[in-house]
Amino acid sequence: MLCSVLVFLSLSILSTKSQDIGVLILARGGSKGIPLKNLQTVGGISLLCRAIITARRSDLKQVVVSTDHPLIALEAVTCGATPFKRSKVTATDWAPSIWGVQEYLWSNSEINTLVLIQATSPLTKPSQLRLALNKLNIPKPVDCVFSVARSYSLRWRYENGNVFPLNFHVFNRPRRQDWKGELIETGAFYVSRRTILEKGLFQNNNCSVVEMSVVESLEVDSYSDLLIANALI
Ligand SMILES: *[C@@H]1O[C@H](CO)[C@@H](O)[C@H](O)[C@H]1NC(C)=O
């Protein structure tokens, strides 16, 4: 009895909460490197469509694609998302993505949590997005959750003709089995509360992370990345 009341309560909390979650993909037309990069295909499906499908499979049904380009808007609709007209100023090369996010938030005042998905990370899994949303509240509420991959790279800094280790001691090189490594932001997704986005931040010091494998965190920036992504999918 108590159990079913609890289930009912948590379900109703979840259902009211989920209405306040916005899912956004920023997809400019004027991408550097590969022109119209988001429309490039991996495994026969465009990067943009893949990101939309991944979001929808993680039960995030209302996916919005903010774009300044008609072909990208068309692809968004084809793949079940809603296009949002991105203004010219937030779609320039130098405009930070937080501007694109804020522009969208200003016209959607009901949203209090935003999931920003990067279409250039085609190996993101729906379960990882679900986990990210979960981690926003469990085990304790945080302001932000983002994707990371673990790295065991030993990093060095070059200065004045010498090299210095950055994350280890030369006399005590870490062994992989007793070093937890470092977390590298993959850029695949960011879940942030509106409160911090309005301050211009995706993250603060009250964040949690979702770990993905190094392979899953592949980011498509160049034609060779496209080749790798096609080989992996
Ligand atoms: C972290 O964020 C949550 C959700 O906004 C908040 O309830 C909590 O007080 C914050 N914790 C700290 C230490 O700021």
pLDDT digits 0-9 by tens, 40-83: 999 999 999 999 999 999 999 899 999 999 999 999 999 999 99
For residue 11, pLDDT over 50 is answered with no
Q: Which atom of ligand 1 is nearest to the CA of 205?
A: 14
Entry pTM: 0.89
- The answer to whether the Cα torsion of 6, 9, 15, 17 is positive or negative is negative
pLDDT tens, 162-187? 999 999 999 999 988 889 999 999 99
Query: What is the C-alpha to C-alpha distance for residues 25 and 120, in angstroms, rounded to an integer?
Result: 10
Residue 83: helix, strand or coil by DSSP?
A: strand
pLDDT of residue 176: 84
pLDDT of residue 213: 98
Side-chain-side CA neighbours of 5 within 13 Å: the count stands at 2
Side-chain-side CA neighbours of 165 within 13 Å: the count stands at 10
pLDDT of residue 31: 78
Catalytic residue chosen out of the listed positions 28, 173, 176, 194? 173
Q: Please work out whether the CB of residue 143 comes within 6 Å of at least one atom of ligand 1.
A: yes
Query: What is the C-alpha to C-alpha distance for residues 206 and 199, in angstroms, rounded to an integer?
Result: 14
Nearest Cα neighbor of 56 from 34, 36, 75, 81 is 81
pLDDT tier at 193, thresholds 50, 70, 90: very high
How many percent of the chain have pLDDT more than 90? 84
pLDDT of residue 129: 98
Residues 13-38: what's their mean pLDDT? 81
Q: Beta-carbon neighbour count of residue 181 at 10 Å? A: 13
Give the bridge partners for 42, in sequence order: 45
Where do the domains of the chain lie?
21-150+183-232
Pocket test for ligand 1, best of 143, 144, 195 (most atoms within 8 A of CB): 143
Class in CATH terms, 21-150+183-232: alpha beta
Query: What is the C-alpha to C-alpha distance for residues 5 and 7, in angstroms, rounded to an integer?
Result: 5
Q: Please work out whether the CB of residue 206 comes within 6 Å of at least one atom of ligand 1.
A: yes
Q: Per 3-state DSSP, what percentage of the chain is helix, strand, and coil (rounded to 5)?
A: 35, 25, 40
Poorest-confidence range of 57-61, 90-94, 132-136, 168-172? Answer: 90-94
For residue 4, pLDDT over 80 is answered with no
Placement of tokens 């960011």 in the chain: 190
pLDDT tier at 9, thresholds 50, 70, 90: very low
Q: Does residue 50 have an active-site annotation?
A: no
How many percent of the chain have pLDDT more than 70? 92
pLDDT of residue 16: 46
Residue of higher predicted confidence among 166 and 19: 166
Residues 112-119: what's their mean pLDDT? 98
Residues 20-36: what's their mean pLDDT? 92
